[in-house]
Structure 1
């Protein structure tokens, strides 16, 4: 076997053909499931899209590298399901571009962190993790409270996501900036429009506790609070399995 490998390395053409063959096999294994994507992704009639504020928060989440230490993929292993909740379904990430499932965990999985902690806890944790979790080795993101969120280009973000299949309407795109401001200001006149366009279950809150401005902290907390809550499909699937 080893002699064959040595001989193959000395034959340039044969070695190139072997590389192409192996790469083709790997590529086919990766691509083949896409032909059955309609059968793979579960149906979730209650699935909603991310609001503009949540989209902005997701962009900040990626910008700060949060995905490098936190996965968003609960596997079917018993210990993971008991710790984090129902295992992740493909439908829950159908509007994620790029998808952030991952498997590297320096910190806990965040697939179902939405609603687990209050907005105040989330803000305190992001501002200085040691204030709420003394043993945490997570870095502090204090600048999020200081940085005013840029909302003027959120319509363009939504329009771009629509080109890859996310069903944003023209109305959603046109009102993206106002909806971001309204979701972080529950007492403003803009809040009603958010509920009208994204549903009654949309989380409208003073996320960072500061009514004076919409910050990057508002956006990131809004995104974290919706993780695992865009649809109830996983919980229904878990309940059906028990029954």
Structure 2
């Protein structure tokens, strides 16, 4: 057959058949093994849907094109794990629509940025990155200090539930209340939003008397990588 490959390459019928067979065989090799495993997503505790404020912050993150320079995917290589932390798990992005995995980085990966810096640092960095990172080429986002529009957050959560995000009726009904409470609530008083969304970052980042886009984006950044307790995640369990 290999001696006559020129005949196959110059005959459109045989070439089409060869391409089809290649795709079929390649597809089977990729798909068949998936039927032998229970799930392609690891079973880990702690991963939850984003709170209304975090979700709106994620919308802003995507709107501003942050994903063009910052991935949220730590690959299982020694240098990446030493720099950023535990490699990314599929389970961490199971409620992300769309997910932010990728390999393009102009700035650092943000999969574990939650809690790494204070709210004040995040705000200063977003307003003028050179104030905290002198060599940064990131543009400033001082316009994020404007009021946040969250009148349709409940509708957004309903749409996300339609594609598999397990928001409850109560969470959707209390969306506006939870969003405002996450900004203006007292962390010491353990507001209700903290019970509905464990590890949600409580408090105003902008310091304004109204909810701002900055509050939402910082809340989203501060939760990244904090949901899973990696001290309890065993590599053996992950492989299964």
Does the CA contact (< 8 Å) of 2:112 and 2:226 recur in 1?
yes
Q: Structure 1 residue 101: deviation in Å?
A: 1.3
Q: Residue 40 of structure 1 aligns with which residue?
A: 40
Equivalent in the alignment of 1:208: 206
**Which residue of 2 is the match for residue 155 of structure 1?**
154
> What residue is the counterpart of 2:228 in the other structure?
231
CA displacement 1:78-134 (0-9 Å, x = unmatched): 111111111111211121121111111111011100000001111111111111111
> What is the number of equivalent residue pairs in this alignment?
234
TM-score (normalizing by structure 2): 0.85
User: Superposition pairs for residues 100-139 of structure 1, below 5 Å?
Assistant: 100-139=100-139
- For each residue in 1:31-73, what CA deviation from the matched residue of structure 2 results, as whole angstroms up to 9, or x when unmatched? 5565466443222233222101101111111111111111111
Q: Distance between the aligned counterparts of 2:32 and 2:235, measured in 1? A: 31
> 4+ residue stretches of structure 1 with deviation over 6 A?
none
Contact 1:86 1:238 in 2 (8 A): no
- Single out whichever of 18-27 and 110-119 deviates more from structure 2: 18-27
Aligned to 2:193: 194
Task: Report the aligned-residue RMSD.
Answer: 2.7
Does the 8 Å CA contact 2:114/2:226 hold for their aligned counterparts? yes
Superposed counterparts of 1:158-177, under 5 Å: 158-177=157-176
Post-superposition offset of 1:155: 0.8
- TM-score normalised by the chain length of structure 1: 0.84
Unpaired segments ≥5 residues, structure 2: none
Using a 3 Å threshold, how does the CA distance of structure 1 residues 144 and 152 change in structure 2: closer, same or farther? same
Q: Distance between the aligned counterparts of 1:235 and 1:138, measured in 2? A: 33
Distance 1:181 1:18, change over 3 A: farther
| 1: CA distance, partners of 2:106 / 2:3 | 39
Aligned residue for 1:208, secondary structure, equals coil
SS at the partner of 2:233?
A: helix
What CA distance in whole angstroms lies between the structure 1 residues aligned with 2:90 and 2:54?
19
